[in-house]
Amino acid sequence: MELVGLGAWALVAAEWLAVGCLSGLSWPDDAFWAARWALWLLSGAFLTGLAQLLLAVVGIGFSSVPLVLVVGAIIALATRLLTGSHHTSMSSHHTSMSEQLEVAPRERITWLGLAAVLMAATVRSFVVPEAGWDAFSHWGLKAQAFALTGQIVDAKTVHEYYPPLVPLLEAWLSLHRGEVSIDFMKLVWPLVGGAFAICLAWHVRVAIGKHAVNGDDGEAFDAE
């Protein structure tokens, strides 16, 4: 991938992180930085997609990146107010994994294994071209139509009734790059998929940790 595309990809990741951070959504207890960032990225992607959807519904469209970000930030702040979430990255409540959260060596190895798998998947997604029939027949086709028009339009696919979040996220990346390419648009998925995997793993950790604290077979999991 050329430098401009990589910059657009990084910018989208940073925007989603910022919007997610602004929403104040956080894990119930302490979480190390990757889990917090993953949650912010996922929630930021969703809220940005929601902003695109709202702007499309009212007829303004989402061609203007700054406008979408402003609306996304407003929705994020509203989320913060409604949920009463006030934790941010600046809060001393959150720490890096190595600082305050006590992590057993076996768990540390598991996290490193997950990180290695996600890195490998990300690298592969950058070098392997899109080959999915569904990507060409509707997901990528819709994303192309959305990116070219800045609106949610009828792309004449056979699955127009599918919810528009997936193509909206792909179109968002395209808008940053300034051109449409199915191989480039699919690169939102290492971000979203990686964040989802980390959130899922952290969720499992929280669930297991809760049982461990309650004394349910806790010794079996090396929970702290």
Partner 1 sequence: MWRMRFGLGVLALWAVVSLARLTRLFEAPEAPPGQEAAPLLSFLRTEIPPDAGYLFVLPGEFGADTGLGPRLRYELYPRTYDDVRATQDEGTVRALMRSEQLRYVVVADASQYPAGHWLRNAPAWLRRVDFGANQYVLEVVS
Residues engaged in binding partner 1 (CB under 8 A) = 117, 120-121, 124, 128-131, 133-134, 136-137, 140-141, 144-145, 148, 155-157, 182, 204, 207, 211, 216-217
Of 132 and 178, CB closest to partner 1: 132
Of 95 and 149, CB closest to partner 1: 149
Of 99 and 134, CB closest to partner 1: 134
Question: Shortest Cβ distance from residue 127 to partner 1 (Å)?
Answer: 8
Of 87 and 211, CB closest to partner 1: 211
Query: DSSP for 44-102?
Result: HHHHHHHHHHHHHHTT--S--HHHHHHHHHHHHHHHHHHHT----TT-TT---TTTTS-
Q: Which amino acid does the sequence have at 29?
A: D
Q: What are the tokens at 218?
A: 């806790």
Question: Shortest Cβ distance from residue 204 to partner 1 (Å)?
Answer: 7
Query: DSSP for 150-195?
Result: TS------TTTTS-SHHHHHHHHHHHHHTS--HHHHTTHHHHHHHH
Question: Shortest Cβ distance from residue 16 to partner 1 (Å)?
Answer: 25
